[in-house]
Amino acid sequence: MSEYLPLFMLLTMFVLIFLGVQVAFALSGTALIFGYLVFQGAVIFQFMEKIEDIASNFVLAAVPLFVFMGTMLERSGIAEALFEAVHLWTRRLPGGLALGTVIMCVIFAASTGVIGATETVVGLLAIPVMLKYAYSKPLICGTICAGGSLGTIIPPSVVVVVLGPVADVSVGDLLVGMIFPGLIMAGLYVLYIFLVCVIRPSFGRRIPPSADEPSLVRRLQITLHALVPPLCMIFAVLGSIMFGWAAPTEAAALGALGAILLTLFYRKFSLAMLADSVLKTLRITSMIMGILLGGTIFTGVFFAGGGITLTNNFVTYLDLHAWGLLFLLLGLAFLAGFVLDWISILLIFIPIFMPLVKGAGFNPVWFCILFLIIIQTSYLTPPLAPAIFYLRGIAPPSITLMDMYKGVVPFIVLQLITLTVIMLFPQTVLWLPTKLLGFN
């Protein structure tokens, strides 16, 4: 019976989650029950050690800093300024409003690091305009959901800050390694939208010139005013990591400071806004840290109870080739994305997967980026589909749930194409960290 203890742990944890128990309590509660069976009365000391490990992890200090950066930027005016500037240049193209929305999502995602913030802010601005010009509703939904989820694979990303310590991989290597995959995915979005609107012009018509069309000089002024401040902040965060000037946590602190300066630049700063941002940061960080602690305790008991041995025996029984194992691991994570949120997928599977990935000879950083792409698909895959729920909260009644489901399907395919490209060409992940950070 004891050799199957880890299996019973997993089953108990999943049952609690599906019964509606919050993930943090499902993980820690399962760990407490089975931890007592493994450690007896010493379980409390094991738990205290895990709490100390989380509390003393310097890298995790970046989580509240990135969250604070995102909450401040929601109110900074950067989204409104970007929306006006980007669409000045794209709206004459087929599907121009949707193309501009993706570009805006990339810039905003690189400025915030918080998933959900991008989709909500961009959606509120872009949906009314695209509806006004009779854009295809599924295209509107897919663009907003997929663009908003780019915060997972566009650095800086709170997901990566959590993933790094759990996978025992450098957060700096992950942040730099995800740059090309993020740009590849965004580029595929742009290419798809452009082609579908060329083939089917009714999906996203060109906007005709207006009587008050700004001059070239005025458009350049608007663009510089909108782009230069956020680009400076993006460079402060990513540039300081890429050139080795700062650790990820120090770069996050620069980003938090930059977010405050942006609110001052756009004349949006107030003490009430600062207090609201701090409270929101506290709530989100507490949620993330609570789940992270529960996951750490759970995996500690899982491994102590023989989880590694059970997993290795299972893989040996399947007798899979290394690439077969990789497809199995990513497939399990993809299926989990239908019913679990990103942090649950990460904390449950990554500690189990990483020893298998290293044993199969795969690069851990490369695998983590593949795993991030799988996590991103979970934002769009029903029934959970957080991106669709975010959109439902801001979309007008004229946009139906079926429009949303139809709209995300092509973008899920594009995400899987990105996954395939990264699998076939690992240097898309590994080249930049090698050149900039001396990664081996």
Residue 1's pLDDT is: 47
**pLDDT tens digit string along 276-316?**
889 988 888 888 888 888 888 888 888 877 877 777 777 77
What lies within 8 Å, CB to CB, of 168 at 6+ separation is 354, 364
Model confidence at 114, in pLDDT bands (50, 70, 90)? low
Contact 178, 369 (CB under 8 A): yes
**pLDDT tens digit string along 48-81?**
887 887 878 788 888 888 888 888 887 777 777 8
Model confidence at 415, in pLDDT bands (50, 70, 90)? very high
Q: What are the structure tokens assigned to 366, written together?
A: 């490369």
Domain of residue 267: give its range. Answer: 2-437
Residue 329's pLDDT is: 92
Distance CA 8, CA 1 (A): 10
Residue 245 has pLDDT above 90, yes or no: no
Residue 144 has pLDDT above 60, yes or no: yes
270 Rama class: left (phi>0) / alpha (psi -120 to 50) / beta: beta
Distance CA 178, CA 155 (A): 7
Distance CA 291, CA 71 (A): 20
Distance CA 347, CA 175 (A): 19
* 3-state SS class at 210: coil
Distance CA 216, CA 274 (A): 37
Residue 417 has pLDDT above 90, yes or no: yes
* 3-state SS class at 113: coil
- What percentage of the chain exceeds 90 in pLDDT? 23
Distance CA 239, CA 235 (A): 4
Distance CA 244, CA 313 (A): 42
Q: How far is C-alpha 408 from the chain's CA centre?
A: 16
Q: What are the structure tokens assigned to 389, written together?
A: 């729920």
- Report the mean per-residue pLDDT for the chain: 86
Model confidence at 370, in pLDDT bands (50, 70, 90)? very high
CA atoms within 13 A on the CB side of 313: 9
Give the chain's domain count: 1
Residue 38's pLDDT is: 78
**pLDDT tens digit string along 196-217?**
999 999 898 888 777 677 788 8
